Structure formats: C-alpha cells, structure tokens
Chains A and B, each alone.
Chain A
C-alpha cells in the first residue's frame, strides 16, 4: 500500500516538471533535498536507534566539495556532486570509530561535536576562503529542470535504498538491533558494523543532497552550510510526517518547505514556528501524521 502511494507520488513529481515554472521547480527541488535527508534521518533513528544531530556536516561538506572541485579543479557539476558523496563518505569513515563507541544521547551530541569541529576548521581555512564563503561559478545559469531532476533522483535513491534494505537480510539484522541490541549481539549480529553501515549510507545520501542543494543556491557560507537548522529541519520533516515510515518524511518535507516559503520574509520567526510545531507534535501525536493515519486504517508499514 505504502509502496504504491510512494510510486504514484514520485511519478506525479516527475510529471510536475512539465509545469517548468521557476518558482515551483525551486520549491519542489528543495522538497526533494529534504525528502532524501529526512528519510535517512528517520531510517537511522527508527531502525538502529542512532539519533544523529550532525547531519549538517555532510550537507556542508557536500557543498564545499562541489565548490572546490568547480573552482580549483574545473570539474563539471555532475562529477562534483558525485565527489560530494565521496568526501562525505570519507569523513564518516574517519569519525565512525570514536562515534560508534557512544550510545543514545551521547552519540547525538558526539555527532554534533564533529560537525562543530568541521565548521570551525572551515571558518579558519584560507583554501576555502575562510568565513567569506565560496561561490560555485559553474552552477550559475544552470537550467532549473536539470537541478529539478537531479534532486528528484537523490530523493528516489534515498527512498529506494531504504525500501530495498528493509526487505533484505541486512534489513532483518538492522531491525533486530533496533528492537533489542543485547539479543541481537547474542545471536551473532555485529551491531557495531551494522550501525556504522547505516550511518555511512546516510552520510553518502546527505552529502549527495548537499551537493545538489548548492547547485541550486550556488554560494556556500560556513555558518549556513554547517548550521544545526539543517538537522532540525530533517527532524521536523520526519517527526511531523511520522518517523520510521517511508511516506511520513515525504509529507513532512512538503509541510516544512511550505512553511519556509510562506515565512520567507520573516527569517527569525520561521525557525521559531518550526520548533514550536515540533514540540506540539511531539506532545500531541508522537507518531506523526502518516504514522497516526496508518495506525487508524491498519496499513502495513515497511
């Protein structure tokens, strides 16, 4: 059921590109970025209990990789976006050994600490123009349709990776870790390896999304790229929609991006309303919109 709805939604998204209206294509591209990342965020927390507050590190790394590969190495944009995912992956491999030793809320703040370290390094690093930010010259004047489809691709990759992972043998192992880690360990599941794998996949997709985002908005500034508001946004999207479901983050992302656009003139009030809505949702219906509907209608969730 959920799968069919998702396929219908993505076909609809692909058809929407025929509108070729600049406002709506920018709007939906941002929705796709949020779908890709918040799917990954909710995947990590619902399957293996990894609450990450450091996703913004990968967005920022993705954006900076794109900028550096475009300014210094003259690489074409698609190649730069692939490089974004690689750099995010390499960074994850470096940060995983200390990070995976931490549990629960320690892990959450630990991942935030890593993103703060990388933020401080980028603020001081003259190679990436320190705090002044970098432009992505090649991304200027790119057709909105191309970025639209790139963003759509990232969203589809993200959703389908989660779908097929959940169906596979690895998915079973992940689910057992999420439900009871001690039992999973006792039947020979290497929880260290599987949790690391989840975080790694999430970082790849988030890095990819970061690269695509900065082709749409071709100027990378440290405080914006490495800001905690990214992760808050992903958390917002997955909690409102229903964390742990496939459709939930899609609904949540649409609501979140609509809120951003509706309040575009009020840069300070928008995050305020964001977090107030999250607090209310967490208290009133913690399962989110889709989670609550699916429970009422007895849909089977993946």
Chain B
C-alpha cells in the first residue's frame, strides 16, 4: 500500500489531465444542446467518424496532426448538412428529433463498421509514446497533448463567441430566438454554422481519441455518455460548467480506478452523473428551467 498522500496526489493529477480530455468530449455536445436545444445522440459516433477520417488522411499526409487541415473543413461540411436535415424538424417535436439523431448515430456506426471493419485502431505517433514526470506522477505524453488541445479549444471557442459576428449571432439565436429574428438574424442558417463548428470540435476530439485510445466503430456510446455527464454536471449552455464537469468526471473515474479496479472505472463516472441528477438537476452553473 503506497503512502496515502502520494496516492491522493497521483489520483488528482491523473484525474485533472483525464478531465481536461473529458471536457473536450463534452464541449461539442453541450454546445449543440445550448445553441439548438437538440440533444445530439449521434455525437459519440461523429467523434469516432472523425477519428476514422484522421486514420484515413494520416496515411496520405503521414501525420495525424497535419490531417486536421483536411478533416476540419470536411467535418464542418458534414455538420452543415446534418443540421440541414434537423432544421426541418426542429420546432415541431422534441422526441422525434431525439429519435432522428439516435438513428443517425446507429446508421453512422454501421457504415463505419461496413467500411473499416470492427478491428480496433490507434494513431499514436511514436514520438508521443511513453510518459513525462509531472510532480512525481508519470503522465502519458499523448494525454498531455489532449489536455492542452482541450484548453486551447475552450479558449478559442470563448474568443469566437465574444469577438466574431457569427459567434455573437449564435449566442443571440440561442438566448432568444424571436428577438434575434427581429434583429435580422436567420436562426436556421445560424444553426447550420453552429452545428458545423460543433463538428469541428468533434474533429478535435476525434483526433485526441485517436492518439490516446484504441477506437472501433462501436466506441461512440461511451463517449456519448461522458458528454452527457459533462452536460448534466456542468449545466446547460455554460462553457465553464462543461469545463469543470469534465474534471469532476475525470477525478471520479481515476478514484474508482485506483480504489476498486480499472474495469469499474466507467461505472464510477456514471454514478457521479446520477448523484448530480438527484441532488442538483440543473447542474453546477445552469439556470433552473
């Protein structure tokens, strides 16, 4: 049994690094929900789709990070077209739209299965293998890349919402659709851009998934659950909430992994989500609706 203080610090550091990655997983999902009030149950599968696109283009461009130049616009286009379909349903029926997204998820999973076979893959380049010593705890290099990528994405998204016209229009359309329309904003069009941007975030997530973990076409569900967890813990439409929600999930998972066993790691995270649902349904930073 190691010294409890050392164990605690290692759990915390591992949890924070993992949590940064989870915030990134939840970011696209929670922004889609915040902007369009659509719970995109295909999000996990879109992340895996991005991972496979990276695998495809990394072969041509020799480097997964370089492939981002191709994959990001591609995912933006996919998101734009996807929202085109969803827009036809968006003000009518919230449960129908939920079913449509889940159907898209299943369709995507099976298409990936058809094209890429169920063999798991990984894209970690050789220079990211191994770990770095961080305050006495060894942390995987690739996970650190994911952590910094996550923070960069959050900062960029924050600036995008504050500084650019489209960002402000997205915020306006999500806050009050009618007033935004009176100000000359066309919400369906803005939603298409919003979904495109969320899909670019999914592309970043897919890259981080691809260099950190083994992925296969059916891996989407567990990422969807993590994304849902950050949304529940953080509250609707709050960037800070999603960010902290990821950390809560990450730390609770490393805690269960260290105390009970790595095979129950996911269960620990899910139970934290349940506790939040029971005690604080509106999340850490959400408004009560």
| Interface set of A (CB-CB < 8 Å, partner B) | 45, 49, 51, 53, 97-98, 101-102, 104-106, 108-110, 112-113, 116-117, 120-121, 123-124, 228-229, 232, 235, 239, 268-269, 271-272, 274-276, 278-279, 282-283, 286
| Cβ-neighbour of B225 out of A101, A106, A113, A275 (below 8 A) | A113
Smallest CB separation, A50 vs chain B (Å): 10
Q: Are A269 and B103 in contact (CB under 8 A)?
A: no
A123 to B277 Cα, complex, angstroms: 25
A301 CB to nearest chain B CB (Å): 19
Does B221 lie within 8 Å of A104, measured CB to CB? Answer: no
Interface of B is mostly: helix
Contacts known (A98-B277, A124-B263); A279 close to B103, Cβ less than 8 A: yes
Digit string of B82-96 for contact with A (CB within 8 Å is 1, else 0)?
A: 000000110001111
Report how many A-B pairs have Cβ atoms within 8 Å. 95
Contact residues in A for B41 (Cβ distance below 8 Å): 109
Q: Is the CB of B88 within 8 A of A283?
A: yes
The interface residues of chain A, by DSSP majority, are classed as helix
* A-B residue pairs, 4 tightest by C-beta: A275-B103, A272-B110, A98-B278, A51-B95
- Point out the residues of chain A lying under 8 angstroms from B100, CB to CB: 279, 282
Asked whether B228 is an interface residue with its Cβ less than 8 Å from the other chain, the reply is yes
Query: A278–B39 Cα gap in the complex (Å)?
Result: 18
Closest chain A CB from B271 CB (angstroms): 7
CB distance B221 to A110 under 8 Å? Answer: no
Whole-angstrom distance between the Cβ of A126 and the nearest chain B Cβ: 11
Residues of B within 8 A of A104 (CB): 94-95
In the assembled complex, the Cα of A278 lies from the Cα of B228 at a distance in Å of 24
Q: Closest residue to B270 on the A side, CB-wise?
A: A117
Q: Is the CB of A120 within 8 A of B266?
A: yes
Are B270 and A113 in contact, CB atoms less than 8 angstroms apart? yes
Write out the residue numbers on chain A whose beta carbons fall within 8 Å of the beta carbon of B39: 105, 108-109
B106 to A228, Cβ gap below 8 A? yes
Please determine whether B110 and A117 come into contact, CB atoms closer than 8 angstroms.
no
Q: In the complex, what residues of B have CB within 8 A of residue A121's CB?
A: 267
**B114 / chain A contacts, CB cutoff of 8 Å:** 268-269, 272
5 residue pairs A–B, Cβ–Cβ below 8 Å: A98-B274, A106-B277, A108-B95, A117-B274, A228-B102
**Cα separation A44 to B263 with both chains bound (whole Å):** 34
* Pairwise interchain contact A124-B277, C-beta atoms closer than 8 A: no
User: Within 8 Å of chain A (Cβ to Cβ): is B111?
Assistant: yes
Beta-carbon contact of A105 and B98 below 8 Å: yes
Per a CB cutoff under 8 Å, which of A232, A235, A278, A283 touches B89? A283
Judging by beta carbons under 8 Å apart, are A102 and B281 in contact? yes
Measured CB to CB, the closest approach of chain A to B4, in angstroms, equals 26
Q: Which of B102, B104, B278 contacts A101 (CB 8 A)?
A: B278
Residue on B nearest A239 in the bound complex, by CB: B99
Q: What distance in Å separates the Cβ of A274 from its nearest Cβ neighbour in chain B?
A: 8
For residue B264, CB closer than 8 A to chain A, the reply is yes
Complex: A117 Cα to B270 Cα, angstroms:
7
The yes or no answer to B107 lying at the interface (CB within 8 A) is: yes
**Cα–Cα distance between A276 and B191 once the two chains are bound (Å):** 23
Q: Does residue B240 face the partner (Cβ distance < 8 Å to A)?
A: no
Task: For the complex formed, measure the closest distance between the CB of B176 and the CB atoms of chain A, giving whole angstroms.
Answer: 21
A116 touches B106 (CB 8 A): no
Q: Does B113 contact A (CB under 8 A)?
A: yes
Cβ of B198 < 8 Å from any Cβ of A? no
B273 CB within 8 Å of chain A:
yes
Q: How far, in angstroms, from A53 to B103 measured CA to CA in the complex?
A: 12
Taking A102-B281, A110-B277, A283-B88 as contacts, is the C-beta distance between A51 and B98 under 8 angstroms?
A: yes
Given A105-B95, A109-B39, A239-B99, do A271 and B277 touch, yes or no (CB 8 Å)? Answer: no
> Are the C-beta atoms of B110 and A269 separated by less than 8 Å?
yes
> Are A116 and B278 in contact, with the CB atoms below 8 A?
no
Closest CB-CB distance, A229 to chain B, in whole Å?
A: 7
Determine the distance from Cα of A93 to Cα of B41 in the docked complex, in whole angstroms.
Answer: 26
**Known contacts A98-B277, A101-B278, A124-B263; A286 and B96 CB within 8 A of each other:** yes
Q: What residues of chain B lie closer than 8 Å to A276, measured between beta carbons?
A: 103, 107
- What is the distance, in angstroms, from B217's C-beta to the closest C-beta of chain A? 10
Which residues B222-281 have CB closer than 8 A to chain A? 222, 225, 228, 232, 263-264, 266-267, 270-271, 273-274, 277-278, 281
A271 cross-chain contacts in B, Cβ below 8 A: 106-107, 110
Docked complex Cα distance between A268 and B108 (Å): 11
